[in-house]
Chains A and B, each alone.
Chain A
Amino acid sequence: DAKTTQPTSMDCAEGRAANLPCNHSTISGNEYVYWYRQIHSQGPQYIIHGLKNNETNEMASLIITEDRKSSTLILPHATLRDTAVYYCIVRRPDSGYALNFGKGTSLLVTP
């Protein structure tokens, strides 16, 4: 699975959009981009995933660049409950079963 690079930490004001970047310059054609988050001491929560088209669900939007070398997770109206570590994971569906979480981005949403 391709390696990902994320900023260590980010801040966002409550009510504003949180834009979390992820670089995956070695991504291959059949690898998906997954986003999970982990609120302190809880289990990871699946957010969204995509292959090449932008995706949106009730939690977030995923924007993947045309060359697929980077992506951005957008939380449109961040709340205090969105404070968490956000993990960008790139993987092939048939690449085995472990999720390589990496170090993630610690997002702090402030009042």
Chain B
Amino acid sequence: DTEVTQTPKHLVMGMTNKKSLKCEQHMGHRAMYWYKQKAKKPPELMFVYSYEKLSINESVPSRFSPECPNSSLLNLHLHALQPEDSALYLCASSRTQGETQYFGPGTRLLVL
């Protein structure tokens, strides 16, 4: 089983809203990732968690706040987003850092 689940599938939010994206995997993977993908562009890495600790932040604005409450769960908290933050947000996991990454279906976010 190589399933990574993400909720919600779609999200519309205003610039003053606070919302959260959720990612879950039950493969025992200890590395989890957030990517952002704009239309017609490849995915770009945002954050990496390894053993529930943040190991990489690719200079992401503070309006995006990741959280890894346990080894199976990864959240992305959103606050005061801009319309240009509208994108497909992808979660991935791998057994450990550097190993094959498996992606979830993504959350399509629209910021109005």
- Which residues of chain A have a CB within 8 Å of any CB of chain B? 34, 41-46, 49, 87, 92-99, 101-104
CB-based contact A93/B2 at 8 Å: no
B87-112 interface code vs A (CB 8 A; 1 in, 0 out): 01010100001111111111010000
A34-B100, A93-B98, A97-B56 given as contacts; is B43 within 8 A of A44 (CB)? Answer: yes
CA distance A34 to B98 in the complex (A): 12
The residue in chain B whose Cβ has the minimal distance to the Cβ of A104 is B42
**How large, as a class, is the contact surface on chain B?**
20 to 34
CA distance A92 to B98 in the complex (A): 8
| Given A43-B105, A46-B103, A101-B43, 11 more pairs with CB closer than 8 A | A34-B100, A41-B108, A43-B106, A44-B43, A44-B103, A49-B100, A94-B98, A97-B31, A97-B33, A98-B44, A99-B101
